Structure formats: structure tokens, C-alpha cells
A and B are shown apart, each in its own frame.
Chain A
Amino acid sequence: MTSPAATPALAEPSTSASSGSARQRGGARYVLGKVGGAVVSLFVIVVLSFFLIRVVPGDPIRLLTRNSSLGPAQVAQLRHELGLDKSLPAQFVDYLVGLLHGDLGTSANFQQPVAQLILQRLGPTVLLVGAATVISVLLGLWQGTRAGWRRGSRFDRFSTGFALTLWSAPTFWLGMILLTVAGTWFPTQGISDPDTPPSFFPQVLDVAHHLVLPCLTLVAVLYAQYLLVMRSSLLEEMNADYLTTARAKGLRDDLVRGRHAVPNALLPTVTLIFIQLGFVVGGAVTVETVYSWPGLGLLLYQALADHDGALLQGLLLVLAGAVLVMNLIGDLLLHVIDPRVRAA
């Protein structure tokens, strides 16, 4: 197998200096193209999210004030305060002007600025989904490597089968089972106990204690995809000539795998990891709901349930923005670590 890294050098028979600047120009164009694409996507999301939410039937004010003690005058006042008595185009202009000033509007249900709500919930989500992603990536890559290396072995069959079973289990159900089985030793609600002393160490331990079950649930449903991608991309490398060469040099099996096979097999996995990292901010709606984890996923669930337009718009913007940014980083990183992308 020839190294793909050799291709650009062959295709560009100029001096090394000019080839360097050409590569820089190509690099700049690549980066600009990707960033520009992301900005356009974000604008489309702003427009789409605004109108999509309003296409969904259901009047948020009617839903909020159902069976409450508010009379018609108060209901009308509430509608007026949230700007929902204006025409659709006027509301859209208000929304855009607000966005340009960094104002995401006010949540009808929580009666709080949307930006403030999202910021409050961002930390817990990044903590939960971040921790779960790191653990799943490590676990998935490790098991995927071992399973792929010894395909058909008992370890392969067991770990792949086990991961797939967990992956296909409904998250909500899995969470409730865990809560029932292990709930005696772990808290059933929230991110921290309000009675924990406010000093640093007890707080950290308390949050870690609350994190165990939700994190475990997320890892259980997440890690299979890393395992499978790693396993299949390692299988593709298995019969490559360079592995035979490495073995011929007398290298131990562990080293052949660790230094030669895995680095090549990692490339598709990196793309997957960064796509997934984008969804980190999106949280895990079901896991957060089961464990009442005060994150963005839970907020999204509540916003959907209450038809809370401003909150939904803000959340969609932030969530889509996170996916775009992470994809962008993934693309750029791939440009650095995979020579074939640079060549393209």
C-alpha cells in the first residue's frame, strides 16, 4: 500500500517554498469555506426555528393559563407583555433585533430571560454529557480495539453483544431500572443536595455522588457506537501490508496494534467523536428527565411541553450552534491529522 501522503507532493512539482505558500492558501480557503458554511447554516436555523415553532398548533398563553385563576384581562395582559399579540412578521423583526443585541427574549413559562435560563443549565449539561462522552469514548475505543483485533473471540462476541443490547435498550427504561436497583445508594434527584455544606470539597463530592447514576445510564447507551466504529475500522486495517511488515520486524502483537493499526483506524472515530461532542450541549433529554438533572435537555423537554416559543428558539439556536462549532473543529482537526483531507 502506498502512503496517500505522497500524492500532493507528486502532483505539485514546484519548489518547496512556493508549494508551502500554496498549501497555506489552500488551508486558508478551506478554513474560510468551512466557517462561512457554518455561519450560513446558523442563519437558516434562526429563521427556520422561528417559523417552525409557530407552525405547531397550540397557543402558549392558553396552555399556561389553563385552569388558573387568571381572568380574560390578565390573560390578555400576559400575551401583551410577551409580545405575542403582535403580528407574525412584527414578532420576527422583534426577535431578530433582540438577537443582534444578544437578547434571546423572555420565557413565557419561567418568566425569566431565556439567555439566563440557558446559562444556568449549560454547566450541569456539559458536566453530565461531557463526563459520559469521555468515559464512553475511552471504553468504546478500548473495547472496540480489542474486539476488532481478536474478531470472533469470546471477548469480541460478548462485549459487542453486550454493548449492542445496552444501545438498543430504551434510555428512559434503563434509567428507571438503574434508579430502582441502585437508588438506595445514590440520590434520586438533581445535581446536588441543598443541605451540603457550601465549602469546595463537600460540594464536589456531592455533585460526583449525584453524577454517578445519570452518567452510568448515558455511558451504557452511548459507548456502543464508539465500540462499533472502532471495531469495524480496525477490521479494515487488519490485512494491510504495513501490519505484515511490522510483524516481520519482530514486533509484539500489542505494539503492532498500538503503534500501527490503531492510529490509522482512529480517523473515522475522530469524526464521530466531534459530531457527538456537538450534541453534548443538547444534553440527554431522557436521562435528564429521569434523574431531574437540571440541564439543557430537561429545559428543552419543558419548553416543548409548554410550547414556550422564546425558550425553544433560544435552545435550538444554542444547540444547533454547538453542533456546527464542533463539526467545524472536527473538520479543521481532520485537516491537520489526515493528510488525505489536505490533498482534497
Chain B
Amino acid sequence: MRIRRIGIGLIAAGMAVLSAPIVAQAQDTPQPRTLRVAVTGTIASMNPFMAYHLGDTEIGRVMYAFLTSYSRDDFKPAPGLADKWQVSSDNLTWTYHIRSGAKWSDDQPITAKDVAWTFNKIMTDKTAATANGNFVANFDTVTAPDDNTVVIKTKKPQATMLALDVPIVPEHVWSKVTDIGKYDNLQYPVVGSGPFTLTNFTQGQSITLKANPDYYGDKPAYDQLQFRHYDNADAAVQGLKNGDVDVVSGLTPAQYTALQSTPNVTTVKARQGRQNDLLINYQAQTNDRQPVGDGNPVLKDPKVRQAIAQSVDIKTLVDKAYGGLAEPGSGFVPAVFEQWHWTPDAAQEQKFDLAAAGKLLDEAGYAKGADGVRTDKQGKPITLRLLVDSGIPAQTAAANFIKGWLNQVGLGVTLQALSSDALTDAGSTGKYDLQINAWTGNPDPDALLSIQTCGNLPDAQGNGNTENFMCDGQIDDLYKAQLSEMDQAKRVKDVKDLQARLYSLDSSVVFAYPNSLEAYRSDRWASFGLQPAQGGSITHQNGYYGYLLAKPIDSGSSGGGNTTLIVVIVVVVVVVLGGGAFLLSRRRKAGADERE
């Protein structure tokens, strides 16, 4: 029995020794000052040619500089790798001047040749076009006559040439890559040109980037930026409370409210380029104009759609369904993009008015039946399916309000709360009458507007990118006009006219621009570079200012101080094990002289 006790003692001593190195190391080397950000979505690829997940592109933005960027104040085009640019009189040739003295993180100079190589790769290699092919679709040639000049010739005039969200990669690294689709781009440190350099990516766990001393712009006031993966938003909130992470984004209103009273945590209610709308399915079709889906035919009547639009009380939705954490919706382009955003004037506005909506339906010949539900022209009661994502509380609440109002005007509604998969599937095959949808826009409105054009209708296989199967001659004309309009004021007018036309068709009712809800550790971080500068967000920017301009608080440690805790745990484990073994050995000893 003595041997057993000696054994226990040895194990205890061993465990104490095990905990020693980490203590020593933690005290000797100063911890790098790290900004830790919780991420919840999938981050799949660090290869900028293949990366199209939202999380991937956000990492790409801090790793690689783009040709131009978006200003922090108001999203206007700002210098990136190019510090000057000009367009020819025929609007077909763009000449960019690449800034001198900029370097890759491996000290090689960044030249116009890198830019030309990147664009040419996307134009010639189908696989390399996976993520960013749509940016170069209208390019004719891209050349670099000298180290500081890039010349892009387009087939047709293109107004979005200062909104090319394409990471520029180093030719001297990427020209050696043979199969671009299979290249993981994880040769640390990954050669880049952004404010941070990738030093580690562990799939599903964490991403670590170090400040890049060669970056041409502002230098971060701390050493490294780290993204930590959470699969569960509640666990991420707990991580913020514990200090495992410094920034959490994508909070639900409930989490946001709970965090407002948490010490050392500051909440951020940010404007963002996102809109929520109610889709009305009246023209589901493929790109060869074959109808698809099973939308209720009664919706083809513009009066019915107008009555539905007039039955949505936007103010109540923002106040009640979103708890005030949203801006009231109007035009298709979110309000945060002030330059492009459109609001209807008093004459155009379809005001919330249930009586007027009812009257409109009466006049259109949809009389109420005995049970108060209106009947269609064939005498059948009108029942509309309203689909909503069951995982987004604010949207399901909004759907319930809308159902109530529609019932009041005599339209039957079946509410179906679905998983986001089932919703996407029903949405893309046209199997819905009404649906709550969400879309995120960019500082340049082109991409957001393009989903309302005939060109993005799905083919028979379902390849497409349409919001509500919109295909309208007037919208298509305005879309083409804005894309080739180099005069900023005229382009703004086209974009606003397009939104006005869309509004008048009642294809969808934009009812909210939800706020982005974030929180950070205010005992460690003093401020962040919000975009837009007034009321903007830290994460998911059209830029990298949130991380780049983060200011740490000097006195606080940057966390990672779990050493004492580990020692305490080890001691507790040893005491428990040792005590248990001791008791056991005593009991055994008591009866040890009994033999069979």
C-alpha cells in the first residue's frame, strides 16, 4: 500500500512540474497585444480567387490591398494601391497610377504588373474567376505599360471602376501556382499588402494575423489580430463576458439588451448596408420567361399588391418587431448609403392605411365572404402563404404583425416559419406567395440593383441571382444607364429613378434596415475605426478601419492570463485524486488480511 501512495505522490509531483513551464513562459515573454474577434459564420478559404463567403472576404480585406478603397466617412471611393486615376473621353479606358514605394510583406515592390497579372488571371482562368469574375466581365484588356501605370480598357462604359472589390495578389508568388482551385494560400507568413499578414489559419478554430510593418497606410496600434470561431452565438457572448474575445458581432436584440448592463462591455448599435423586405411573388420565371413556382395568381393584380403594401405599418415594425434597433425602410438601397438611397415623396408614398387598402380591394372586386375573408374572381377565399426564416426573431415577429394587418383587410394568411435552407429553396423556385427576405448591399449600388434585372433570372438549373424574379423593361433601361453613366449626379438620378420604379411595382415592400449589433470589451479597447464614421460598425465593413484603427487601453493586459487558474486546477485535481486514493488504500488495508 505504501507503493500505491508513493505512486500517487509521484503523479502529483509530475503534474506540478507539468504546470511549471507554462508559468515560466507566461511570465518571461511579454504577450503580444492582440485584438480578439469572435466569428460565427463559416470561414472556408484564404485563397482570394476562391473566397466568396462573407467571413472569407472580410479576412481578404485586411490581407490584401485593393486598387481603390471606400472612405471611412461616407463610403466614397478613396485611394488604395492606386492613388490617382482618370478615364478617357470615350469612357472606355481607365488609367490608374499605382503609388510608389509600396511593398509586399516580403519586401518586394508592389507594381502595376501585379495588378495587371491579377486581373488577367481572373479574365483567362475560369477557376480563378470563381469569386470575383463578375467584376471583370466587361473588361477588354488590362495592361501595365510601366511599374506605376495600369490601363484597363472596357468593352462598354462602366461606372463601377472605382468599386472593384478584387484583392490584388503578388505575381511573384501566384504565378508559380499551377492549380489555382486547389491552392490553399497557407504558406506562412502569407505574402500580402494589407494592414495585416496571415500567420495562422486553423480551420474551424482561429485565424491569426500580425500587423504588417510594410503596409503603406496607417499602422495598427497593437501587434496581432485574431479571429476566434464560435459555432454558437450565446457561447460567443459568454466568451466576451469572460474576456476570451474582445469583440462580438451579429448579436440578437435580446443579447444586445442583456450586454448593455454588463460591466466592462460597451455595446454598439451600428447602421449597416442591409435591408429586410416583404417579397410579393407575382412573376416567378426563368431567364427564358417560363413561369415557375406556385404563387397565388391573385397577386398578379397590381391593386392587390398595392393593398398589401398599404397594410404594412413600417413604424410599428421598427418599434415593436425590431425593438427600435432598425431604421424604417423605404427605397431598395439601404439608408446608410446616403448618396444612393431613395425615399418616396408624399405623392408617391404608399402610406399605411388599412381602410384605404380595404377600399382598394373592394373596388378591384374582391368582396369579403361571410367569414370576413375576401374571395378571388373564381369565388375561392384568398389565402396567402407568408414564409419567414424561423431563426431570425425580429423577422418572425415582423411576419406576425404583417399577418395581423393583412387579416384585418380580409386577406387570409398562413404563416410558415422555415429553416433558412427551406426558405432559400422555396424562394429560388418561386414556391411562395409572400416572403420575408434580407439582402446586403455594397457602397456602389450596382450589385444590389443587378438582382432586379432580367439578366439575373435563373436558368433551368437554378443558376441565377435574382431577388424576386424581377424583369421589367424600364428597370433594365435605368440599370444599363446608371452603369455607363460617368457623371456622378446623373448616375445618382438613374439609381433613384430605378428605386422609384421598383417601389411603384410593389414587387417587394422594404420595411426595415436592421442595425448591426456589436459589443466590445471597453476595459481593454478605447475606440475602433467605425465605418461610416458616424454611427457605423466595427466588423463587416467595406473596409478594414474597424480593426486597423482600434486603440488599446494601455494599462490593461491583453488577456491570456489563465496561468494561475491552470495551476489552481492542477492543484485541485491532485488533491482530489490523492485524497481519494488515500481513502481507498486505507479501506483496502483494513481488510487486507482476509483471504479467500
Residues of A in contact with B (beta carbons under 8 Å apart) = 57-59, 61-63, 65-79, 81, 85, 109-112, 117, 120-121, 176, 179-180, 183-185, 187-197, 199, 201-202, 204-206, 209, 212, 249, 251-252, 254-255, 259, 288-292, 294, 298-299, 301-302, 305-307
Q: Chain B 341-382 against A: per-residue CB contact (8 Å), 1 yes, 0 no?
A: 000000000000000000000000000000000000000000
B238 to chain A, nearest CB (A): 5
Whether B461 lies near A189 (C-beta < 8 A) is no
Considering the chains assembled together, what is the distance between the CA atoms of A109 and B203 in angstroms?
12
Q: Is the CB of B425 within 8 A of A194?
A: no
Contact B239 A188 (CB under 8 A): yes
Q: How near does chain B come to A235, taking the closest CB pair, in angstroms? A: 24
B31 contacts chain A at the CB level, 8 A cutoff: yes
**Chain B residues, CB < 8 A from A70:** 52, 130-131, 133-134, 465
B434-468 CB contact bits vs A (8 Å, 1 = yes)?
A: 00001110100001001000011011011111000
Minimal beta-carbon separation of B394 from chain A (angstroms): 17
Contact partner of A58 (CB less than 8 A), chosen from B239, B425, B439, B570, is B425
Q: Given A71-B465, A183-B239, A299-B204, 15 more contacts at CB 8 Å?
A: A69-B52, A70-B134, A71-B450, A71-B456, A74-B133, A77-B133, A109-B42, A176-B235, A183-B241, A194-B205, A195-B32, A212-B569, A255-B594, A292-B231, A306-B42
Are B421 and A74 within 8 A (Cβ)?
no
Measured in the bound complex, the distance between the Cα atoms of B462 and A58 in whole Å is 11
Within 8 Å CB of A202, what residues of B? 21-22, 25
Given contacts A63-B421, A72-B458, contact A195 B560 (CB under 8 A): yes
Task: Judge whether A197 and B22 touch: CB under 8 Å.
Answer: yes
User: Chain A residues near B455 (CB, 8 Å)?
Assistant: 72
A62 and B424 contacting across the interface, CB-CB below 8 Å: yes
**Interface flag for B230 (CB, 8 Å):** yes
Within 8 Å CB of A57, what residues of B? 422, 425
Contacts of A184 in B (CB 8 A): 242
Assess whether B408 is interfacial by the CB under 8 Å rule: no
Q: How far is the CA of A294 from the CA of B126 in the complex (A)?
A: 33
Indicate if B181 sits at the interface (CB-CB under 8 A).
Answer: yes
Residue of B nearest to A71 (CB): B134
Q: Show 9 A/B contacts (Cβ-Cβ < 8 Å), sorted by A.
A: A63-B421, A70-B131, A111-B50, A185-B569, A189-B235, A199-B21, A199-B25, A255-B596, A292-B231
B428, chain A: closest CB distance, angstroms: 5
Q: Is the CB of B21 within 8 A of A183?
A: no
- Cα distance A61–B459 in the bound complex, in angstroms: 13
Decide if A197 touches B25 in the complex (CB within 8 Å).
yes
Q: Which of B137, B200, B447, B463 has the most chain A CB atoms inside 10 A of its CB?
A: B463
Q: How large is the interface on B (under 10, 10 to 19, 20 to 34, 35 or more residues)?
A: 35 or more
Name the A residues within 8 Å of B54 (CB-CB).
Answer: 68
The answer to whether A189 touches B202 (Cβ under 8 A) is no
Asked if B385 is at the interface of the complex by the 8 Å CB criterion, the answer is no
Known: A294-B203, A307-B421. A72 touches B232 (CB 8 A): no
A73 near B202: Cβ-Cβ < 8 Å: no
- Bound-state CA distance A210–B425 (Å) is 38
A201 and B203 form a contact (CB under 8 A): no
Is the CB of B234 closer than 8 A to any CB of chain A? Answer: yes
Q: Which residues of B contact A (CB under 8 A)?
A: 18-19, 21-22, 25, 31-32, 34, 38, 42, 44-45, 47, 50, 52-54, 126-127, 129-131, 133-134, 137, 165, 181, 184, 200, 202-206, 208, 226, 228-232, 234-236, 238-239, 241-242, 244-245, 287, 421-422, 424-425, 428, 438-440, 442, 447, 450, 455-456, 458-459, 461-465, 560, 562, 565-566, 569-570, 591, 594, 596
CB of B230 within 8 A of CB of A292, answer: yes
Which 4 residue pairs are nearest across A and B when measured between Cβ atoms?
Answer: A188-B239, A71-B134, A202-B22, A294-B204
The total of Cβ contacts below 8 Å across the A-B interface reads: 211
CB pair B19 A58 closer than 8 Å: no
Cα–Cα distance between A290 and B462 once the two chains are bound (Å): 35
B-side contacts of A66, CB under 8 Å = 424, 428
Contact between B134 and A73, CB atoms less than 8 A apart: yes
Assuming the A-B contacts A112-B44, A204-B18, are A189 and B228 also in contact, with contact meaning beta carbons closer than 8 angstroms in the complex? yes
Contact A74 B129 (CB under 8 A): yes
Chain A residues positioned under 8 Å from B425 (CB to CB): 57-59, 62-63
Tell which of B131, B234, B235, B458 touches A74, judged by Cβ atoms closer than 8 Å: B131
Q: Are A209 and B562 in contact (CB under 8 A)?
A: yes
A190/B206 in contact, CB under 8 A: yes
Q: Across the two chains, which residue of chain B brings its CB closest to A110? A: B44
Closest Cβ–Cβ distance, residue A283 to chain B (whole Å): 13
A111 to B450, CA, bound (A): 27
In the complex, what residues of A have CB within 8 A of residue B52's CB?
65, 68-70, 74
In the complex, are the beta carbons of A75 and B463 less than 8 A apart? Answer: yes
CB-CB under 8 A from A71, the residues of chain B are 133-134, 137, 450, 456, 465
A117 lies within 8 A of B238 (CB): no
For A204, the chain B residues whose CB sits under 8 A away are: 18
Taking a contact as CB atoms under 8 Å apart, the answer to whether B202 and A205 are in contact is: no
Are B244 and A187 interface neighbours, CB within 8 A? Answer: yes
Q: Which of B42, B47, B459 contacts A72 (CB 8 A)?
A: B459
Complex contact B44–A111 (CB within 8 A): yes
Report yes or no: A74 in contact with B130, Cβ–Cβ below 8 A: yes
- Residue on A with the closest CB to B43? A110
Complex: A301 Cα to B204 Cα, angstroms = 13
**Contacting pair A201 B133 (CB below 8 A):** no
Residues of B within 8 A of A176 (CB): 232, 234-235
Chain B residues with CB under 8 Å of A112's CB are 44-45, 184, 203
Task: Give the CA-CA distance A340 to B424 in the complex, in Å.
Answer: 56
> Taking the nearest CB of chain B, how far is it from the CB of A13, in angstroms?
35
Distance, CA A66 to CA B596, complexed state (A): 74
Please, how many angstroms separate the alpha-carbon atoms of A76 and B462 in the complex? 9
